[in-house]
């Protein structure tokens, strides 16, 4: 995106403008880590707006980006969710946030709940209820911007959120879900078992991963396909030579996501 947008920080708390509180007891997330990430992200943002949303009395950072070309802009939006331990301006999630806005969509990258750096993946089981509330807040925000069709997109643990949310909220206004590097954690709760979640979903799902992905993704690929067999809108795409982070394969990832979104939003 060639034009630099003005950076603004909005505090959205029940319609009032307040300073963010990082000590809310309602969160399982490590809010101090979130604050540290937010301080760095907001200071170095170039594209989009830093927007503070609220979920269950907890304020969290989100990055909203308007479509680059108003004439090409649609009323479709994408909520992006990063993997464990990082932030909404991380790696390929941030690049997709900007590139999808360049392609004409509203994008909103959410700070998802994060735990202490040394916890095992299974401990993220407890973050799902809070993650769902943050997605709810993201949906409301995009609707306030005039977005009428919303897709979820997540990477790694974020991909787990992207399929668990529509599975548990079948009436939510979600048009489809994109799961990049969707892994399984056998020691986690039901939300960390994509086969259990995919069997409940009937909206379009793009399950995309690389042939060099981690075992938690590759070992369960066939089981995910089988679980989604009754969803005619499920598509699994394996990308040759790509690893879990699509290192050196981002362009093909972007192309496939944009093509899928263009086809799916017209349904």
pLDDT at 2: 39
Domain containing 150 equals: 9-265
For the chain, what is the domain count? 1
To 5 degrees, how large is the angle CA 209–CA 215–CA 219? Answer: 80
pLDDT at 68: 81
Residue 175 lies in a domain: yes
pLDDT at 9: 40
pLDDT at 26: 76
Residues near 257 by Cβ (< 8 Å), separated by ≥ 6?
96, 100, 153, 178, 206, 208
- With 0-12 / 13-18 / 19 or more C-beta atoms within 10 angstroms meaning exposed / middle / buried, residue 133 is buried
Helices of type H across 201-249:
215-218, 221-227
pLDDT at 266: 83
Helix (H, G, I), strand (E, B) or coil at 35: helix
pLDDT at 70: 66
Residue 115 lies in a domain: yes
Q: Say which CATH number the domain at 197 has.
A: 3.40.50.1820
Residue 1 lies in a domain: no
pLDDT at 73: 65
d(CA 44, CA 195): 39
Per-residue pLDDT of the chain (267 residues; tens, 9 = 90+): 433 343 344 433 333 233 344 444 579 999 999 999 999 998 888 899 999 999 988 999 999 999 987 656 689 999 999 999 999 999 999 999 999 999 999 999 999 999 999 999 999 999 999 999 999 999 999 999 999 999 999 999 999 999 999 999 999 999 999 999 999 999 999 999 999 999 999 999 999 999 999 999 999 999 999 999 999 999 999 999 999 999 999 999 999 999 999 999 987
Residue 4 lies in a domain: no
């Amino acid at each position: 995106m060639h034009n630099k947008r003005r950076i603004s920080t909005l505090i959205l708390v029940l319609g009032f403008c307040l300073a963010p509180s990082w000590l809310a007891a309602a969160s399982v997330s490590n809010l101090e880590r979130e604050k540290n990430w937010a301080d760095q992200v907001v200071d170095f943002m170039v594209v989009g707006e830093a927007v503070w949303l609220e979920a269950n009395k907890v304020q969290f950072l989100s990055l909203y980006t308007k479509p680059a070309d108003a004439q090409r802009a649609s009323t479709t939006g994408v909520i992006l969710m990063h993997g464990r331990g990082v932030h909404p301006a991380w790696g390929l999630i941030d690049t997709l946030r900007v590139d999808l806005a360049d392609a004409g969509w509203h994008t909103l990258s959410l700070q998802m709940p994060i735990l202490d750096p040394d916890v095992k993946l299974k401990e993220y089981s407890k973050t799902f209820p809070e993650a769902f509330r943050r997605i709810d807040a993201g949906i409301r925000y995009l609707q306030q911007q005039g977005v009428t069709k919303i897709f979820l997109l997540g990477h790694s643990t974020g991909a787990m959120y992207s399929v668990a949310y529509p599975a548990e909220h079948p009436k939510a206004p979600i048009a489809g879900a994109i799961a990049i590097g969707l892994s399984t954690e056998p020691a986690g709760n039901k939300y960390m078992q994509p086969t259990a979640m995919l069997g409940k979903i009937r909206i379009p799902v793009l399950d995309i991963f690389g042939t060099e992905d981690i075992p938690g993704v590759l070992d369960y690929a066939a089981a995910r396909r089988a679980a989604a067999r009754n969803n005619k809108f499920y598509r699994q795409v394996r990308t040759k030579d790509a690893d879990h982070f699509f290192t050196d394969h981002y362009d093909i990832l972007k192309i496939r996501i944009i093509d899928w979104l263009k086809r799916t939003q017209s349904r």
